[in-house]
Amino acid sequence: MEKTLIILKPSTIERCIVGEIISRFEKKGLYFTGLKMMQLTDELLVQHYSHLADKPFFPSIKASMKRTPVIIGIIEGKDSVRVVRQMAGVTIGRDAAPGTIRGDYSMSRLENIIHASDSIESAQTEINRFFQPEEIFAYQLTVTPVLYTADELTNQ
């Protein structure tokens, strides 16, 4: 199964919708193999947003992401990177389709509830950035046989 990373941003924490967001992934049939709360540092934010670090709006990103702790999770499932990105919706909340996380909970570009890895490669880099190996767990849901057909499980 594929793994991806999410960050539930301070706007999620402040609005008390963490459980709602997590449950959407679980109801879809995805599952968490790592989950923790942490306060992001300048160093982590510069690493994570290195592609934006020289932009004039980067100080706003840092301030937003440091306002409260964040919740970081590893989500596992078939095609999880693509599925989680689709569930998150486009970056600007007011442009995101209803039914997506951002479409249902955000109006903003910056305060947009969630970060989701954009590729298998970036997911692995981000997982390594935020998690130690002993913080990642391997298990299979007992409902896996009703989430996927047998050929989907063998053609990973």
Residues with a catalytic annotation lie at 115
Question: Which residue do the tokens 């923790």 mark?
Answer: 36
Smallest Cα–Cα separation from 7: which of 134, 131, 135, 140? 131
Smallest Cα–Cα separation from 70: which of 18, 5, 9? 9
The whole-angstrom separation of Cα 93 and Cα 145 is 35
Please report which residue ranges of 30-155 form alpha helices under DSSP H: 42-48, 58-66, 80-88, 101-105, 120-130, 144-147, 150-154
CA atoms lying within 13 Å on the CB side of residue 54: 1
